[in-house]
Amino acid sequence: MTDVLIAPSILSSNFSCLADEIKAIDKAGADWIHLDVMDGHFVPNLTFGPPIIKSIRNYSKKPFDAHLMVTNPDDLLEEYVNAGVDMITVHKEVTPHLDRTLNRIRELGCKAGVSINPATSISGLEFLLDKLDLILVMTVNPGFGGQVFIESSLNKIKSIKELIKEKPIKIQVDGGINKVVAPMVIEAGANVVVAGSAVFNGDGVESYSKNIEALRYKIKKNEKN
């Protein structure tokens, strides 16, 4: 059976009580905490950066997974590491010297990831496999929570799985993941599921843990069939 990790995106949490939301999602069984950093340039929306991440770091011991949807990720890598993140994922579309950036992230002691938008090909990733801990397949166009999953992502996930074979690189999916879609992306080869609106639905630990369990249940059920 695949070991699937669930990484709730705090983009869909209640920002007015972020510390409580982090504690709640931790208790509810999140494996990683997914942090959607948006700059208003690479994506239309704006969220948060290192100071906010630092302020919530101590509310959970779970790995902090930073997804940088920014045009200039290289400028602040050290700040994200100092804020306490464990993984940094940059976008292929805006990182011209991806090889160098991935090296730098690892030098700083973090796991390194690359993300690709729905219209971005996987070409070139074959040269980076020994520098990657994670490949994040965007399954919506980045910028907003609550969008609809893009079906063509399934073939892309399969191609990535074929490319990495048994290498210890996680395949993460992000956008529009719910109980229906989760089994499909896992079957295609993903093993880390980001979910925002499907997890932060309801209020507090009890609701969040039900939502996480529902995702896990559907994934396991599909694997048995």
CA 169 from centre of chain: 13
Which residues in the 162-181 window bind Zn ion by CB under 5 A?
Answer: 174
CA 22 from centre of chain: 16
Q: How many CB atoms lie within 10 A of CB 206?
A: 12
Smallest separation, CB 105 to ligand DX5 (Å):
18
26 catalytic? Reply is no
Residue closest to Zn ion when measured from CB atoms? 67
Where along the sequence are the contacts to ligand DX5 (CB under 6 A)? Answer: 9, 11-12, 34, 36, 67, 140, 142-147, 174-177, 194-198
* Amino acid, single-letter form, for residue 61: K
Smallest separation, CB 164 to Zn ion (Å):
20
Residue closest to ligand DX5 when measured from CB atoms? 196
Considering the candidates 39, 133, 174, 203, report the single residue annotated as catalytic: 174
Smallest separation, CB 127 to ligand DX5 (Å):
25
Q: What is the CA radius of gyration of the chain?
A: 16
Beta strands 5-8 and 134-138 are unpaired
Nearer to Zn ion, 113 or 189 (CB): 113
Using alpha carbons, select from 140, 139, 189 the residue that is nearest to residue 169. 189
Q: Binding partner of residue 12 among Zn ion, ligand DX5, none, CB under 5 to 8 Å per kind?
A: ligand DX5
Nearer to ligand DX5, 168 or 203 (CB): 203
Find the angle CA(118)-CA(121)-CA(124) to the nearest 5 degrees.
Answer: 140
Per-residue DSSP letters for 121-151?
--TTGGGSGGG-SEEEEESS-TT-SSPPP-T
Q: Can residue 65 be called a binding residue for Zn ion (CB under 5 A)?
A: no
> Residues 4, 22, 67, 173: which binds Zn ion (CB under 5 A)?
67
20 catalytic? Reply is no
Considering the candidates 20, 36, 74, 86, report the single residue annotated as catalytic: 36
Q: Can residue 36 be called a binding residue for Zn ion (CB under 5 A)?
A: yes
Residue ranges of the alpha helices (H) in the chain?
18-27, 50-56, 77-83, 98-107, 153-164, 181-188, 205-224
Q: Binding partner of residue 11 among ligand DX5, Zn ion, none, CB under 5 to 8 Å per kind?
A: ligand DX5
Smallest separation, CB 138 to ligand DX5 (Å):
7
Residues labelled as active-site residues: 36, 174
